[in-house]
Structure 1
């Protein structure tokens, strides 16, 4: 079963790298992309229940990923929400978890943990987690 992913990241190159990484880990399908908070919120409104995993950067072209995390949690039974950002300091990490994020990863130092988490979502047939650098 494919894991539907909403990817909220303002840098197109990073969106491509994350999409390629997910494809290498298992049956992930990017079903939505957004570069701003407003785009992400609109996509969530227009596609209720259409995603299993939201990967959210905190710093976007306009707005922040924190608003997106909150929006993801408005509906009961929503998918997993992962913050993947350069700005995941301990205080920001705690705030994101309070907003409803399931996990928070620092782009520069938590890539192996991010890979392991995504691999665990893909199930036992997924590719093993490796320490790749983005």
Structure 2
């Protein structure tokens, strides 16, 4: 649910190269993300959620994605200890700062997604 196109392209390339993972959907608002998750419960394995979206926030998307009993990871430029704790409390399995995209890619590959 990354809202920046350049970051979507970068993630798409890195995920494919690292383990054959593919991005199946993107959303730029909280409402779009929630709607897609509700309409496609079996079409994804890992949700990568940015906290800052065009409308709404990733904080509202985390619980929706986590309720599907799949992997949920937050990828944001605003990661602090408090943000990490809050995201994990909402259901995130992992939280990564955007400055460490390699760690995110490794984590996704380890999930077998």
The alignment's TM-score, normalised by the length of structure 1, stands at: 0.79
Q: Partner residue of 1:103?
A: 94
Unaligned runs of 5+ in 2: none
Q: How does 1:44-63 map to 2 (within 5 A)?
A: 44-63=37-56
Query: Which residue pairs with 2:29 in the alignment?
Result: 36
Which sections of structure 1, spanning at least 5 residues, go unmatched? 1-7, 124-134
> Once the 2 structures are TM-superposed, how far is the Cα of residue 100 of structure 1 from its aligned partner?
0.3
Tell me the TM-score normalised to structure 2 length: 0.92
Divergent runs of 4+, >6 A: none
Say which structure is richer in strand: 1
Q: What root-mean-square deviation, in Å, do the aligned CA atoms of Structure 1 and Structure 2 show?
A: 1.4
Residue equivalent to 2:108: 118
Query: What's the offset of the Cα at 1:22?
Result: 0.4
Higher CA-based Rg: 1
When you count helix as a share of all residues, which structure comes out higher?
2
CA contact (8 A) 2:18 2:106 kept: no
1:113 deviates by 2.2
How far apart are residue 79 of structure 1 and its match?
A: 1.6
Task: Tell me the SS of whatever aligns to 1:49.
Answer: coil
Deviation digits for residues 83-126 of structure 1 (CA, Å, limit 9, x no counterpart): 00001111000000000000000111x33322321221238xxx
Deviation at 1:81, TM superposition (A): 0.3
Instruction: Quote the residue 2:83 is aligned against.
Output: 92
